[in-house]
Every structure is written in structure tokens, then in C-alpha cells.
Structure 1
Amino acid sequence: MSQVEKAQEFARLHKKGEPLILFNIWDAGSAKAVTEAGAKALATGSWSVAAANGFGDGQAIPLSLLAVTAKLISVTSHLPLSVDFEGGYAVEPEEVAANVEKIMDHGAIGINFEDQVIGGHGVHPIETQVARIRAIREMADRRELPLFINARTDLFLQESDTAHHQILLDDAYRRADAFAEAGANGFFAPGLVDPELIGALCERSSLPVNIMVRPTTPDNETMAGLGVSRISYGPAPYRSVMGMLKSEAEAIYRHN
């Protein structure tokens, strides 16, 4: 498939009640393994990619290295690739769009783009994030690539007390509506785990809803029934693999 065809296929895979499952990867090797396991598409996780290269999360990994990682993944697997692009490595809309273009040039057909203030506190005002999303969409349209912009809100992830998530729902609705109008293709709400609230968001949002698997999220079948269109595993696959590696190495070194 061409890059445009991959982008179109990726969008088609987002079906309410029949979610796209993304077992997040971090390099070409993990991409190959997940592709061979039967994945329909690939998506990186920012935490995992950074950790695999010796960096912390929060855009600590250089953009140039992230771009090379995307390129290596895209030439290793024939599947559509979405890159977790955090906050776009900039604040100003034009700079963000230029950075996204670099990732597109290295094979990505989709991005996660979050509203949290990288290196600061809280989330960007809706108006600020809308301008940033709109700039990305306009750039992609000029390039004639239907880039899948998965607009992520960190409202729920930043509130560790899930009992308070109900209060945040109205703000999430406003953001989903505004992001959709600006040109987003999906709405990502990591940290949201309550089945009732997940279902309410799926019913209310005009965009396909993406939920990240956490220890307390409903199982995938339940989330499909709630109307979720995309399920991500975030850093869990990387942590699992590294945990196994460390455990096996410790067993060897204990006997030497």
C-alpha cells in the first residue's frame, strides 16, 4: 500500500464497538514481532520508545532519533504506523505542524497529539490546542495525506483519584467537540477507567474514542460493548518484555 492507502486503511479500522487493538511497539524489532503476531496496524508508545533509547518520557528523546525510529519501523513492516508524538516538540502551531511533517516524511500515517503542557503543569487551554490541531490538519491537507490525528486529552491521566473523573467529563466533551471541528480524527482519553464514564464518552463523542489499557480498565470485550473504537496498551508491552529480560539476566548472574 502507498502511504495514502495506509492512512485510509488505518482510519477504516476505527469502528465503534469493534475496536482496533494496538499492542504498542518501540522499535523495528518489536514492530516485526507484533506484525507477525497478526496486528492490523502499528502504534508506538512515547514512554517505550524513549526508554528503549535511554531517555525519559516527555520529549526527552531527540526528534531526529524519533524520526529515524519511525523510518526503521515503516521499512520493517507493511502495516500502517501511528507515532506517539506527545506535544509535537513545540508549542506554536506552525512549529508543531513542521515537526509532524518530519514524522510523516519518515513513514507515519497517524500521530497521537496530546494537550498536556510538556515540562509544565496541567493541560493547554482548548483554544491553544485547537490552533495546534488545525495547523497540523492544514499541513497534512496540503500534502494530500489523510493523516490520522488522534487528539489526546490528559485530563484523566493527570487526576489520579478516579472518583473525580466524573467532574472532568464535561471538559472532555468540550475538548472532543473542539478537536473534531479543528480536524482531529480520534479522541484519546488515557487514564479513564470507569465503564460508565467510558460508555458516556463513546456515546457523546463524534470522534472514535481510544482508551488505554490499565490494571483497572474493563476487559477488551467489555470496552467494545461500551462503544470504544481503539484500544491501546501504552507502555505495558515494553515493561513486560524488559521485566522478563531483567528476570532472566538476574537468574543467570546469581549463579556466576
Structure 2
Amino acid sequence: MTTTQQAKAELLHALHVPGKPLVLANVWDAATARLVAAAGAPAVATASASVSWTRGVADGGGLDLAGSLAQTELVVRSVDVPVTADLEDGLAEDAPGVGRTVTELLALGAVGMNLEDSRAAGLRPVAEAAERVAAARAAADAAGIRLYLNARTDVFLFGTGAVEDAIERARAYLAAGADGIFVPGPTDPAVITELLAALPGVRLNVGGGAGAPNVADMARLGVARISLGPGLARVAYAAVRRAAEEVYGSGSYDSLTGGLEYGELNALFD
């Protein structure tokens, strides 16, 4: 632990304010991290899907711990703002393994982590998922770093989709040591409001993107964090495909218009 890392950890906590959401345009490498930070992001987050694709594997089980940590280290070294990493289910078989993952993550200088309750086979039982949250918290405490632990429940993605189930899991993870709760999936303001009403004071993280309320509306609802997930990566890869299909189809280069200048990108690493 360093004084700088601890200060970043405290800052990351302070940035999570219900009604004044921290907006995270999730990144996957050094260049995207620096571009997002330069745009004004007060903190930077990775997205497991984006990291998986850049490592050449499928999201949702293809990424290994070494690969995830390698990309996280690139991001941490590239920016001065706090970095929080999406490490799926902790990329470990059991709760002690999650603790070891946290220890390795903190050694890189990161100060936040997403920990989800799903795996390839679906949602973990609540008690098992909560045990993994508790292990992550214990490892951070042992390292002396106030890790911002964002516990994610995938009830709306792979479970029942019932608000009551999301609330049950959120309460269990908060009791186990989570600092915030991430509920990806819902875009209906009524559902988000119901979650917030049942979890007073919780720092709720929801997804941002097409069909979701904009940042100002999320703030009015009382959301504390908005994540774009793999949104930036999807846009970037769509641009690559358009340009490639054009040059191999019509033979023209129009899709290259509007790209960042070589000098501007190179200057990111001067």
C-alpha cells in the first residue's frame, strides 16, 4: 500500500454519491484509458467483455486471471485517476481464491473491483455469492486498502428478473461487506426507483446506453454510478468493421474520415 493508492481509494469512495452519479465509460487498454481520462473522467473502469475481446477470448468465462490483471495493470499505469477493475466472479473457483485475486489486484495499484454473482452455469446461490464478497472484503482489509467493492447481481440477465430477488441479493452482499450494488439490465425508471426505495442509502450502479435514462435523469432518480460496460468497445469495433468492409468492397476510404490524428494518438504516450 502507498499513500497515493490509499488516497485514490478514498477518492473513489467519495465519487459515489446518490443523485450525483459517477459516470464510467469503461475501457480496455492504455489508449482508451488515457482518452477517457482526458475527456474528464474522475475515475476509470475496465469492462470484462472489452478486456476479453482484446485478449482474444469470449466474454463470460473465456478470460483468465492473468490476462485480466495484465490489462488492468496497463490501465493503472496509464492514468493518474482511481482505477476499478471488472473481474467477473473474481476469476476464482472458491471464496479463498477470490481473496487471492483481490490481493493481486491491489498489488497493481487498482482501488476498486466489480464482483458478480453469476458464472457459466448461471447465478450462484445467495449464500455462496455473499461468501465471495466477504472474502474480497477481508483480503482488502488485510492489505490495508479501502477497496471500493461493487457487488453485481445478474438477476435481470440470467435469473428470474424479479426486483424482489435483486433486493434480496443486494442486502446479502451489503451485509457481507460490499460498498455498492450493481444491477445491470433494468432501464425502466420505475424499476430503478423500486430498487432504490427498497435499499435506502445504497450506492446503486446501473447500466447506461441506448434505451436507458440519460445521466441527468439517472441523477434525479438517485443513482450513484452509471457504467457503459462494453459500449465503447462495441462502437470502436463497429468502426473497424465499417472501414474494413468498405475498403475490401467498394475500394474506397470514406469510413476513415473523422478518425483521430496519428500525432494525437501518439502523443498520448509521449
1:98 to 91, 97, 100: 100
Task: Indicate the residue corresponding to 1:130 in structure 2.
Answer: 130
Determine which structure has more spread, i.e. the larger CA radius of gyration: 2
Task: Indicate the residue corresponding to 2:113 in structure 1.
Answer: 111
Task: Indicate the residue corresponding to 1:192 in structure 2.
Answer: 186
- Work out whether 1:230 is the aligned partner of 2:225: yes
Q: CA deviation at 1:71?
A: 1.0
Code of the aligned partner of 1:213: G
User: Which ranges in structure 2 are unaligned for 5 or more consecutive residues?
Assistant: 253-270
Task: Indicate the residue corresponding to 1:21 in structure 2.
Answer: 23
Q: CA deviation at 1:61?
A: 2.0
1:88-138 superposed Cα distances (whole Å, 9 cap, x missing partner): 11231111110121112122111110001x2212x1111111111111111
Measured in 1, the distance between the counterparts of 2:69 and 2:150 equals: 18
1:165-219 superposed Cα distances (whole Å, 9 cap, x missing partner): 4xx1112111111111111001000001111110121232242000012422222
User: Which ranges in structure 1 are unaligned for 5 or more consecutive residues?
Assistant: none
Aligned length: 248
Task: Indicate the residue corresponding to 1:154 in structure 2.
Answer: 154
- The answer on whether the counterparts of 1:17 and 1:228 sit within 8 Å (CA) in structure 2 is yes
- The answer on whether the counterparts of 1:68 and 1:106 sit within 8 Å (CA) in structure 2 is no
Extract structure 1 runs of 4+ deviating beyond 3 A.
Answer: none
What root-mean-square deviation, in Å, do the aligned CA atoms of Structure 1 and Structure 2 show? Answer: 1.5
Q: CA deviation at 1:230?
A: 0.2
Measured in 1, the distance between the counterparts of 2:228 and 2:184 equals: 10
Task: Indicate the residue corresponding to 1:175 in structure 2.
Answer: 169
Measured in 2, the distance between the counterparts of 1:96 and 1:90 equals: 5
- The answer on whether the counterparts of 2:114 and 2:152 sit within 8 Å (CA) in structure 1 is yes
Q: What is the DSSP-based 3-state SS (H/G/I as helix, E as strand, rest coil) of the residue aligned with 1:103?
A: helix
Measured in 2, the distance between the counterparts of 1:207 and 1:91 equals: 28
Measured in 1, the distance between the counterparts of 2:225 and 2:195 equals: 13
Q: What is the DSSP-based 3-state SS (H/G/I as helix, E as strand, rest coil) of the residue aligned with 2:113?
A: strand
Q: CA deviation at 1:67?
A: 1.0
- The answer on whether the counterparts of 1:70 and 1:107 sit within 8 Å (CA) in structure 2 is no
Measured in 1, the distance between the counterparts of 2:140 and 2:33 equals: 25
- Work out whether 1:240 is the aligned partner of 2:235: yes
Measured in 1, the distance between the counterparts of 2:93 and 2:188 equals: 31
Q: Percent identity?
A: 35
Measured in 2, the distance between the counterparts of 1:44 and 1:207 equals: 22
Code of the aligned partner of 2:138: E
Question: TM-score, normalized by length of structure 1?
Answer: 0.93
Question: TM-score, normalized by length of structure 2?
Answer: 0.88
- The answer on whether the counterparts of 1:176 and 1:207 sit within 8 Å (CA) in structure 2 is no
Measured in 2, the distance between the counterparts of 1:230 and 1:68 equals: 25
- The answer on whether the counterparts of 1:43 and 1:81 sit within 8 Å (CA) in structure 2 is yes
